[in-house]
Amino acid sequence: MWEETYRQTSYRELPWFSPRPYAWVVRAARERWFRPGTRVLDVGCGAGTNSIFLARAGFRVSGVDLAPVAVAVARRRAKRAGVAIDFQAADVLRLPFPSASFGGAIDVGCFHTFDRRHRPAYARELARVLRPGARYVLSWIAREHSGRLGPPHRPGLDEVTAALEDRFSFLRCEFHRGTRTEAAHFTGLLERRSRPRPPAR
């Protein structure tokens, strides 16, 4: 589906594309949520805007997306920007990286593409490639968004917490009310736990 979407539409016309990096990604760099120079994974990188920003800010960046066309666009944009980024076409549920490869991660708009069945695998795989203590910025369209356009899965905060909190702790979380040009969404800063939290009894 994603590959066909990118082939049929200019990436600049896609509703999720932005020429500017996401505000919390900018904060992550400026407020040192990630250690300077660390390796950061961009989950569902799309056309690469956030990856390019992070690379310019001095991070070593890898970006993955399921759509090879999106990855090709991201590579062209990174080349024009003069930054070296490891972009790969890959399934987020089977990431092509060794365990503990990254000191940070961002996901701006990928998590909400998964239904309940696939969220545990998403959490396991992301935790696998992150080092203990690694920070992770996550933004997703919330169930409070009632607009016609938007992802089919719009998880509430309770659903996201249920999927992630065994392996990640939430350091902060904010709800952003929708506007005429922006869907209602949550953004969180999480940290990878040293070991999975034991199940509740």
> pLDDT tens, 42-71?
999 999 999 999 999 999 999 999 989 889
State the pLDDT at residue 35. Answer: 94
User: Would you say 170 and 188 are in contact if contact means Cβ atoms under 8 Å apart?
Assistant: yes
- Please name each of the domains of the chain with its CATH number: 2-192 (3.40.50.150)
State the pLDDT at residue 94. Answer: 96
Work out the pLDDT band at 112, boundaries 50, 70, 90.
confident
Cβ partners under 8 Å of residue 118, min gap 6: 93
Token readout for 191 is: 């940290």
| Residue matched to tokens 């490891």 | 86
Work out the pLDDT band at 6, boundaries 50, 70, 90.
very low
Hey, what amino acid is at 156?
A: G
Can you give the pTM of this predicted structure?
0.87
State the pLDDT at residue 89. Answer: 96
Higher pLDDT, 52 or 185: 52
- In percent, the amount of the chain with pLDDT more than 90 equals 65
State the pLDDT at residue 195. Answer: 82
Q: Please list the residues that pair with 88 across neighbouring strands.
A: 64
Mean pLDDT across the stretch 6-22? 58
